[in-house]
């Protein structure tokens, strides 16, 4: 054991250095993985709550590292954002997802997460068109999920991009609603088609009256603006029952299904659809 204060600092430095080395190694591996299309799309079902019908799937990036195994998305997404890999990662995942989903029942829609950097790169619409041409995926089956961070810095640009996406038939959802700096003027002034309520408001909602009031309020607001609502993180029967009672349109979460591979989706569509 170290004795003096100085020794402890030395020990602490070594640990920080080790962490920095690990992080750097992970960054390099992530760069390779993105370039080789090894960040794969997984798919989590979204269901219509009133009718129990499948609406589509949210595409979620997954990384199985050769030696580390599954790397948590929150970790590698954060790294990708830090080191400028988030846009290439997003395009790779979108392209792979469109290729896989192209052969599924055309009623099945896909929702993809588009990071703020990817959204603001200035060529989003052209790149989207390229993906549709390359993969043969019908843009009317695609929804993009944007967080408020993506639209905040340049409102006029966001407005024009959303219009161009609509012209292609792509719909737009406002993601993680309630979790960040939600602004009602964003909802009013930008042409969103739907909003997704963050899972943090949904879990254990039966035992959390304040979250019940927030979710009911969001629904009233959204319906007043003609927006559909998807609740994330629907885990239990009680969560589901509450959402049904307040007429939330769509739900996603472990109550219905976990994110799954493209092969599992194909199997699910063959057997249950
Ligand atoms: P998100 O957009 O809020 O996605 C929903 C997250 O909730 C996913 O986490 C999903 O696996 C998880 N989830 C689904 N159902 C439940 C449930 O019932 N309970 C709980 N506790 N969690 C549930 P995941 O897959 O770990 O992704 C984390 C975040 O990483 C996503 O949050 C999204 O912001 C980001 N992300 C994932 N894939 C991509 C991508 O391809 N591009 C970009 N830009 N971001 C991505
Ligand atoms: Ca999302
Ligand atoms: Ca999120
Ligand atoms: Ca969320």
Nearest CA to 240 out of 257, 255, 259 is that of 255
**pLDDT tens sequence for the chain (273 residues):** 445 555 566 777 888 999 999 999 999 999 999 999 999 999 999 999 999 999 999 999 999 999 999 999 999 999 999 999 999 999 999 999 999 999 999 999 999 999 999 999 889 999 999 999 999 999 999 999 999 988 887 889 999 999 999 999 999 999 999 887 767 778 888 999 999 999 999 999 999 999 999 999 999 999 999 999 999 999 999 999 999 999 999 999 999 999 999 999 999 999 865
- The encoded tokens of residue 15 equal 């640990």
Q: How far is CA 130 from CA 63, 91, 97, 113, 187, in A?
A: 25, 11, 14, 18, 29
Q: State how far the Cα of 185 lies from the Cα of 83, in Å rounded to an integer.
A: 32
Taking CA atoms only, the protein residue closest to ligand 1 atom 19 is 233
Q: State how far the Cα of 19 lies from the Cα of 79, in Å rounded to an integer.
A: 14
Q: What residues pack around ion ligand 4 (CB closer than 5 A)?
A: 176, 198
Which of 76, 92, 113, 198 to mutate to test ligand 1, by most ligand atoms within 8 A of the CB atom?
113
138 lines ligand 1 (CB under 6 A): no
115 lines ligand 1 (CB under 6 A): yes
Nearest CA to 138 out of 177, 109, 159, 181 is that of 109
Ligand nearest to the CA of 148: 3
Using alpha carbons only, how large is the chain's radius of gyration in Å? Answer: 21
Q: What are phi and psi of 215, to 5 degrees?
A: -65, -40
Please tell me the pTM assigned to this model: 0.94
Sequence-ordered list of residues with C-beta below 8 angstroms from that of 27, at least 6 positions apart, any chain? 79, 82, 83
- The encoded tokens of residue 34 equal 């993105």
Which of 39, 40, 73 to mutate to test ligand 1, by most ligand atoms within 8 A of the CB atom?
73
- The interface pTM score, or ipTM, of the predicted complex is 0.97
Taking CA atoms only, the protein residue closest to ligand 1 atom 21 is 233
Question: For residue 9, how many other CB atoms are within 10 A of its CB?
Answer: 11
Sequence-ordered list of residues with C-beta below 8 angstroms from that of 175, at least 6 positions apart, any chain? 113, 145, 146, 147, 196
213, 197 contact by CB (below 8 A): no
pLDDT score recorded for residue 273? 57
Q: State how far the Cα of 194 lies from the Cα of 101, in Å rounded to an integer.
A: 22
Which of 42, 149, 197, 199 to mutate to test ligand 1, by most ligand atoms within 8 A of the CB atom?
199
154, 120 contact by CB (below 8 A): yes
- The encoded tokens of residue 163 equal 């219009």
> How far, in Å, is the centroid of ligand 2 from the Cα of 59?
8
Ligand nearest to the CA of 146: 2
Q: State how far the Cα of 261 lies from the Cα of 236, in Å rounded to an integer.
A: 23
Q: What are 105-158's pLDDT values in tens digits? A: 999 999 999 999 999 988 999 999 999 999 999 999 999 999 998 888 788 999
Altogether, the residues listed in the chain come to a count of 273
- The encoded tokens of residue 200 equal 């943090």
Taking the CA atoms of 227, 228, 234 and 237 in sequence, report the sign of the dihedral they define. positive
Give 70's Cβ-side CA count (13 Å radius). 7
């Amino acid at each position: 054991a170290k004795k003096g204060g100085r020794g402890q600092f030395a020990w602490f430095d070594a640990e920080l250095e080790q962490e920095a080395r690990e992080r750097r190694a992970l960054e390099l591996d992530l760069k390779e993985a993105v370039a080789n299309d090894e960040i794969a799309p997984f798919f989590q079902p979204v269901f219509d709550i009133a009718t129990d019908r499948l609406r589509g799937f949210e595409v979620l990036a997954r990384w199985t590292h050769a030696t580390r195994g599954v790397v948590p998305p929150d970790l590698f997404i954060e790294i990708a954002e830090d080191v400028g890999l988030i846009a290439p990662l997003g395009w790779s995942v979108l392209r792979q997802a469109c290729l896989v989903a192209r052969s599924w029942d055309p009623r099945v829609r896909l929702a993809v997460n588009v990071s703020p950097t990817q959204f603001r790169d200035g060529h989003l619409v052209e790149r989207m068109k390229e993906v549709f041409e390359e993969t043969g995926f019908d843009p009317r089956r695609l929804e993009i999920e944007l967080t408020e961070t993506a639209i905040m810095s340049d409102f006029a640009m966001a407005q024009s991009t959303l219009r161009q996406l609509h012209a292609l038939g792509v719909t737009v959802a406002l993601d993680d609603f309630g979790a960040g700096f939600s602004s009602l003027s964003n909802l009013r002034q930008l042409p969103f088609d739907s909003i997704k309520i963050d899972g943090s408001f949904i879990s254990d909602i039966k035992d959390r009256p304040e979250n019940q009031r927030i979710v009911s309020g969001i629904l009233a607001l959204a319906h007043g603006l003609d927006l559909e609502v998807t609740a994330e993180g629907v885990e239990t029967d009680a969560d589901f029952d509450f959402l049904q009672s307040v007429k939330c349109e769509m739900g996603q979460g472990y109550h219905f299904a976990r994110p799954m591979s493209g092969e599992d989706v194909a199997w699910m569509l063959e057997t249950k659809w």
